[in-house]
Amino acid sequence: MTALWQLSARQLARLVQSGEVSARELARTFLDRVDRLDPALRAFVDHRGERALADADAVDAALARGEPVGPLAGVPVAWKDNLVRRGEVTSAGSRMLASYRSPFTATALQRLEAAGAVLLGRTNMDEFGMGSSTENSAHGPTRNPWQPDCVPGGSSGGSAAAVAADLCPLAVGSDTGGSVRQPAALCGVVGLKPSYGRVSRSGLIAYASSLDCVGVLARTVDDAALWLRCTAGSDPGDPTSAAEALPEFAVEARPDLRGLRIGLPWELNGPGLADEIEAVLADARAQLRTLGAELVECSLPHVSVAVPTYYLLAMAEAASNLARYDGVRYGFRGAASGSCEAMTTASRSSGFGAEVQRRLLLGTFALSCGYQDEYYGKATQARERLREDFRRAFAGCDLLVSPTSPVPAFPLGSRIDDPLAMYLCDALTVPASLAGLPALSQPCGRTAAGLPVGLQWMAPPRREDLLLQAAHVFERHTDHHLPRALP
């Protein structure tokens, strides 16, 4: 018999709605797994324990009264430590906010709770989202459930590891340059980054505002779609949230991929890939053909400058976004005597980790007088070119695919001292981020060592429907998503 923890979020919600299982039983089941498995993994930085059980009881009570409960009734959901929830600590993986409690709740979390979800706990991340391995966390690193010596990817590594280890069926993440998709690939789960503006950023601790997207880690494509339906939609709290509503669509609408032209941008499908990734992807492409898709070669010429473009823009915005952490009103305050300036310097020099300080200094430089045109200005132009590349590519095909990560999960500590090698982990995910496109990573095979490999899908702006339908076809006809990392 299938255990509760092996079921999808949709299946679990149905069991709760029909009264076969109580929300408390679900919360208990997953909290027990967290207690048993997480001390070794460290996917969570904190779980809500009794408070989660109390929330589950509230769902059960509502059901008992015959009140309507949402499509996520009783489903335990973890969330990345950079989405605030009223009264809870939100640290963004930083010493700077180690004891910071928010007076309000992120819109995405509010909507999940309104849909009946039970918030289980916060997951680990690279400090302020800056990293691709979850090693840059004030809480220490998270381990990959498939291979404990390896990283889970990042920055939403805690959320990816939690879902991969079945500590929760859904975990909220955030994706600025690949922070949902890359850890999803390295942990063998589904990772969805919606279109920019699709899910409100209100309550998401900003890294780079023009790129930040709230996303989700899930076991199945259908669960990712379910999550999107519950969280998408405009929000007065986020002036960049999209006005147009998510279209009504069924994930299982397509029996196969016939009639779809799938583009293979050669810049993302060859250069710099590890051999074992290339081999798995070749099989995946063959599978797409078998499912009826027409695969076409295409080109995104400006992908060659996507990584420097991304890092310039993200660091510049970060330097401004993180200026508020000055030790004056909240957060870590460094010991300093004399001037306010000395206090702010001390607070930032010891409140932020090394990678955050590196990015803030580079970002400040990229915006400074005399260099702004050369760096920030050029990057803004390059971003426009890349958007244009995508417009051209989508004129000739419906969707694009590539590997999600050029490498599988790598050993802890192997890249942390080489920022450039770490930045190149994002080479395949940053193009969709820069263009604001919806993108998804799903498991598509394994390396000889048994490490998961991710297939990345990219769709035209606001075409999450197409993205999720195609990925769902691939999932239904393959079994890469089925193996469990931990019993």
Partner 1 sequence: MNAFTTVIGLEVHVQLATQSKLFSPAPAAALGEPNSRVHAIDLGLPGVLPRPNATAIELAVRTALALDGQIQPVSRFARKNYFYPDLPKGYQISQFEEPICRGGAVPIGDGRSCRLQRIHLEEDAGKLTHSDAGTLVDLNRAGMPLVEIVGEPDLRSPAEAHAFLHHLREILRHAGVSDCDLELGSMRCDANISLMPAGSTQLGTKVELKNLNSLKMVQRALEYEERRQTAVLAAGGRIAAETRGWNDEAGESRPQRSKENAPDYRYFPDPDLPPLVVDEATIERQRQLLGELPERRRARYRGRFALPEHDVVALTQDRAVGDWFEALVAAGVDAKTASNWTIGEVLPAQRDLGVALADFPLPPPQLAELLALLADGTLTQVTARKVFRHLCTHRVPARVAVRELGLARLDDPAALQPLVAAALAALPEAAAAVQAGKERALDALKGHVMRQTKGRADPDLVDRLLRAAIAALGPR
Q: Residues interacting with partner 1, by CB under 8 A?
A: 83-84, 90, 92, 97, 100, 102-104, 106, 201-206, 208-210, 236-240, 316-317, 319-320, 322-324, 326, 328-330, 340-341, 344, 364, 367-369, 372, 376
CB of 32 to partner 1, least distance (A): 31
Q: Is 441 a catalytic residue?
A: no
Q: Which entry of 22, 155, 200, 405 is annotated as an active-site residue? A: 155
Nearest to partner 1 of 277, 322 (CB atom): 322
Nearest to partner 1 of 85, 302 (CB atom): 85
Q: Is 193 a catalytic residue?
A: no
Q: Which entry of 132, 133, 179, 202 is annotated as an active-site residue? A: 179
Three-class SS string for the chain?
CCCHHHCCHHHHHHHHHCCCCCHHHHHHHHHHHHHHHHHHHCCEEEECCHHHHHHHHHHHHHHHCCCCCCCCCCCEEEEECCECCECCECCCCCHHHCCCEECCCCHHHHHHHHCCCEEEEEECCCHHHCCCCCCCCCCCCCCECCECCECCCCCCHHHHHHHHCCCCCEEEEEECCCCCHHHHHHHCCEEEECCCCCECCCCECCCCCCCCEEEEEECCHHHHHHHHHHHECCCCCCCCCCCCCCCCCCHHHCCCCCCCEEEEEHHHCCCCCCHHHHHHHHHHHHHHHHCCCEEEEECCHHHHHHHHHHHHHHHHHHHHHHHHCCCCCCCCCCCCCCCHHHHHHHHHHHHCCHHHHHHHHHHHHHHCCCCCHHHHHHHHHHHHHHHHHHHHHHHHCCEEEEECCCCCCCECCCCCCCHHHHHHCCCCCHHHHHHCCCEEEEEEEECCCCCEEEEEEECCCCCHHHHHHHHHHHHHCCCCCCCCCCC
CB of 105 to partner 1, least distance (A): 9
CB of 326 to partner 1, least distance (A): 6
Q: Is 8 a catalytic residue?
A: no
Nearest to partner 1 of 100, 227 (CB atom): 100
Q: Which entry of 80, 137, 156, 193 is annotated as an active-site residue? A: 80
Nearest to partner 1 of 49, 377 (CB atom): 377
CB of 485 to partner 1, least distance (A): 31
Nearest to partner 1 of 8, 372 (CB atom): 372
CB of 428 to partner 1, least distance (A): 23
**Which residue numbers are catalytic?**
80, 155, 179
